[in-house]
Structure formats: structure tokens, C-alpha cells
Amino acid sequence: MFRSVLVRSSSSAKQSLLRRSFSSSVPERKVAILGAAGGIGQPLALLMKLNPLVSSLSLFDIANTPGVAADVGHINTRSEVVGYMGDDELAKALEGADLVIIPAGVPRKPGMTRDDLFNINAGIVKNLCSAIAKYCPHALVNMISNPVNSTVPIAAEIFKKAGMYDEKKLFGVTTLDVVRAKTFYAGKANVPVAEVNVPVIGGHAGVTILPLFSQVTSLAQTVATPQANLSADVLTALTKRTQDGGTEVVEAKAGKGSATLSMAYAGALFADACLKGLNGVPDVVECSYVQSTITELPFFASKVRLGKNGVEEVLDLGPLSDFEKQGLEALKPELKSSIEKGVKFANQ
């Protein structure tokens, strides 16, 4: 009996010591989620509450945020949670934020393309980015609101008008494309999905999504692995399924939603990478849709090294298969059009 009490008290003392050393060594980081009461926002709030790198979690939406904040706030992890509701409280939600994640907007419905979302979500993004420019101009911004191919250029234009645009701090979150590509590839290749990495380049809609299955690596290796002898037809089908992943979920939910849970997971993964970069963790590399000169297009998704300033380096595309080279040329006109549409909207 005495021994078990001693073990418990010793364990408790160790945990207390670990907590103290952890809290003193990990920087204070405020993360704001704009659209936190929505289908993506709620599970994203949960996942960010579980992240030990977050010390302050700020949840904003036009309605229902106090309930989400109260619910999430009861979880016994490091971060303090505050909910803010309505435009009058947006400034308080943003002040002092190191990272702002934007899943705000309306979701896709059956038969709706990402283009159909444009006018509603573009207006929402425009207003939110104006507030970010005013209240937390140095924060990293993770754009989830669709269509990402256009909303990121909109954000860039709004920030330019405010005189605070830093191309290194604006990201389109394309991590869900990577998550899907890993999952679909591992299923076909019959390999452990946790060990697979697949770069995805281009944009974040339909044909603009280009998974590079020729560059599949495992965590144990730094060079491309043989593609598990998958045929060209299978790789073509995997590419198409990755491109149509969002539609697959919309149709499966039969009018009752879009990809919210997997998007929240992907958003949390990318946010974690950004926080690690800010905290000085070396060699944090993720795919993201950013301003770059890696192609002739002003914005493009590719592998990016993250650091204390956001984008530290945009990595080159590496060797592409003939199929991927064709895909790259095929996506450029649509991506160019989406970028121009965003720029035009922001400057209206």
C-alpha cells in the first residue's frame, strides 16, 4: 500500500516537474481561429486545444462562439480559451495573435463547384484580412476558406493595400490534398500509411491539384522509393481520386456537409508545422500554396521550409514523371485564371 502511494506521489512529482520545465521552455503562442463555430472550425478548435505549443486559443465567429469556447475550454490542456462573437469583438480576438487560421465561409454542397463559393467566401475573407492587417499585422496567416486558389491572392492584395504584406507569412493550406494522397497511395501500395510521404503541388481545386507519386518517400528514407510496382493506370486513378477527394465527401454526405473533419485534421497539422517553425525547430517542410517564383505563376503550392519568419525557403519541384509534367502544364491555365479572379475581386 505504502509503495503504491509512493510510486503515485513520485510519478506526480515527475509530471509536475515536466510540466514546469515544459511551460518554461515552450514560447507563449496565441492562435486565433476565424470561423471557429463552423463545420471545420469546431473540430479545428478541439485539435488546436490539444496542441501543447498553443498557450492562448482565440475563437471567433459571427455566432455561437461562446458555447464552443466553453465546451473546448473545459479540456485539461495548456491553452487558455476565449470565445469572441460578432464584428465588434474581432479586434480583441486578433490582438497579439502569432498565427491566424481562417476556415470561415460557407461549405460546398452537392453540385456546387469551388467556383460557386467564390462571391460569398471572397467577401468574408476580404473583411477578415482587413482586420488582420489592422490588429495583428505580423501574424502568420493560414487560409483554409475556399476557393484557396483565389482567397490567398485576395488576402495578399488586401495586405498590400494596408502596407503590411509579407509574402513569407501568407499560406494557403493544401495539406488535405497531401493527407488524401498519402491515404489513397498507401491503400493501393499496401504499405503503412503513417510512413508514406507524397508531395502535392499546384493549387487546391480539381485539376490544379497534382500529387507527385513519382516522389513518394517513406519516413525512413530521404530518396524516392519505387512506386510499389503500381501501374500507370493505377497512378492515374490515384491522381484523379486525390483531385476529386472533396467531391467524394460532399456526395457521400448527401447534401449534409463537406470535408470538415479531415480538413480540420489537415489544418491542425499545418498549423502545428507553422508553430514549430516559429519556435525554431529545424527542417520543418510542408507543402503549401504560397507566393513563389518556382513557376511563372505568382502563387503555387509546393514544398516549403518553415521557420521563424514563416516561409524560409521554397523548395524546387524535383524530377517529375512525364505524366506529372503533362499535369503541371494542364493545371497552369486554370490556376492562373483563379489567381487573376482573386486579384480582380480584391481590387474592385
Q: Cα 251 to chain center, whole Å?
A: 23
204 is catalytic: yes
| DSSP secondary structure string for all residues of 203-230 | -SSGGGEEE-GGG-EETT-SSPPP-TT-
CB 245 within 8 A of CB 259: yes
Cβ count near 121 (within 10 Å): 23
Q: Is 165 exposed, middle or buried (0-12, 13-18, 19+ CB in 10 A)?
A: middle
- Rounded to the nearest 10 degrees, the angle between the axes of helix 232-243 and helix 245-252 is 60
Cα R_g (the chain), whole angstroms = 21
Question: What is the 8-class DSSP label of residue 257?
Answer: -
- Rounded to the nearest 10 degrees, the angle between the axes of helix 41-49 and helix 261-278 is 40
Return d(Cα 108, Cα 246) in angstroms, integer. Answer: 9
Spot the catalytic one: 126, 180, 204, 341. Answer: 204
Cell 492587417, located at residue: 133
CB 239 within 8 A of CB 110: no
SS3 78: coil
What is the torsional sign of CA 225, 229, 235, 241? negative
Which pairs with CB-CB distance under 8 Å and at least 24 residues apart come from 5-11? Answer: none
CB 162 within 8 A of CB 137: yes
Among 102, 122, 57, residue whose Cα is nearest residue 84: 57
Cell 505524366, located at residue: 323
- The torsion of the CA quartet 199, 141, 314, 160, rounded to 10 degrees, works out to 140
Which are the catalytic amino acids? 204
